[in-house]
Amino acid sequence: MHSPAKKKAPFGTRTTAHLFVQRYQEGAWGPGRIEPAAPLALAPLTHALHYGASIFEGFKAHRQPDGTLALFRPLDHLRRLNRSAARMCLPQVDAEGLARRIAELVRTDAAQAPSPPDALYVRPLLFADGAVLGYGTPTSATLIVALVAVPALFKGGVRLRTETHYVRAAPGGTGSAKCAGNYAGALRAQELAHAEGFDEVLWLDAHERRWLEEAGGMNLMLVRGGALSTPPLSDTILAGITRDSLLALARASGLPAEERPISVDPADWRDVSEAFTSGTAAGTAHIREIVHEGRVLFTRSEPGPLARQLGERLERIKFGLEPDPFGWRAPA
């Protein structure tokens, strides 16, 4: 009998001393500025509060051996922010310019960044701020970038169950956008899974309820027949930057890496030797067990060798402990 999942401490409860703030009006972005962190003043009719036009990103700044900070793949995250913005009818940001301002913000609050293995989480938030009850395409928006010192998550591994009732995303929907509503809509299923002793849910496709997609806010990675395997991207799966990094690391190391559908059929799990999740907050998190409709699809008590190898190398690159042949580290 499994014991209930332990209640985790809140992840990220206090920002550093400053924010970056920029506003979009009349078809153009105004000058952004770094200012002291303070509560937001929003009108009761703020568009995002009523209609959900809100997106965000999340990446990290890591303390390097010389004491400086380096951002991990900031441009890739900000380009993904723009893809989310396009889907949600929000204005595009200047990714390169914003990356420079975020680096400035990180330098401003560098003294509040933690030491390894913890990191400084960078949270860009873009939302429609127009005070109008009418439903339509937003014409004004606010961009905020906050910094939060955070620990790594799921250090002891995770236990997952598939979600067979609720759906996270459907074809043609917003599943590949990092929008607030995707996460709010997932909370009920997560709450029920927690009550059953699981750490997260493993989402299935909306049509057949057979194909595995994401695990909570993380991508799913398997080792199958000695190859790294992950579900192919679609408009129902977020294109994870950590996912992409792990695939690149595997291929650069000569390890087979594939993107192929993964079902709940027992035959698909016969040669699965490792399972883990990937995401910015948790990095790589070992999956201890996956349960589908009461049947165990996968179980392993300790992380496997390939997951450990890829996860540790990725962390060493992030923290400047080995060379970065991919150009992923961006100095702050």
- Reduced to 3 states (helix: H, G, I; strand: E, B; else coil), residue 87 is helix
Considering the domain architecture, whether residues 131 and 205 belong to the same structural domain is answered as: no
Q: Of the candidates 326, 262, 306, 307, which has an alpha carbon nearest to the alpha carbon of residue 158?
A: 307
One-letter amino acid for residue 234 of the chain: S
**Residue 96 belongs to some domain of the structure:** yes
Considering the domain architecture, whether residues 166 and 269 belong to the same structural domain is answered as: yes
Residue 307 scores a pLDDT above 70? yes
Residue 79 scores a pLDDT above 60? yes
Residue 4 scores a pLDDT above 60? no
Global pTM reads 0.94
Dist. CA 91–CA 127, nearest whole Å? 9
Tokens of 187: 């909370």
Dist. CA 228–CA 248, nearest whole Å? 11
pLDDT digits (tens, 9 = 90+) for 202-224: 999 999 999 999 998 899 999 99
Task: Please state the separation of Cα 114 from the chain's center in Å.
Answer: 20
Residue 1 scores a pLDDT above 50? no
Q: Of the candidates 63, 66, 76, 65, which has an alpha carbon nearest to the alpha carbon of residue 327?
A: 76
- 266-286 mean pLDDT: 94
- Reduced to 3 states (helix: H, G, I; strand: E, B; else coil), residue 101 is helix
Considering the domain architecture, whether residues 79 and 167 belong to the same structural domain is answered as: no
Mean pLDDT of the chain: 94
Dist. CA 214–CA 97, nearest whole Å? 31
Domain ends where: 94, 127, 150?
150
Contact of 258 with 250, CB cutoff 8 Å: no
Contact of 59 with 241, CB cutoff 8 Å: yes
Considering the domain architecture, whether residues 25 and 115 belong to the same structural domain is answered as: yes
191-219: buried (b, 16+ CB within 10 Å) or exposed (e) per residue? Answer: eebbeeebbbbbbbbbeeeebbbbbbbbb
Dist. CA 93–CA 306, nearest whole Å? 37
- 175-186 mean pLDDT: 96
Considering the domain architecture, whether residues 277 and 312 belong to the same structural domain is answered as: yes
- % of the chain exceeding 90 in pLDDT: 92
Domain hosting residue 124, numbered range: 18-150
**Residue 32 belongs to some domain of the structure:** yes
Domain count, the chain: 2
- 247-273 mean pLDDT: 96
Better-predicted residue by pLDDT, 317 or 152 = 317
Q: Of the candidates 99, 15, 90, which has an alpha carbon nearest to the alpha carbon of residue 54?
A: 90
Considering the domain architecture, whether residues 162 and 121 belong to the same structural domain is answered as: no
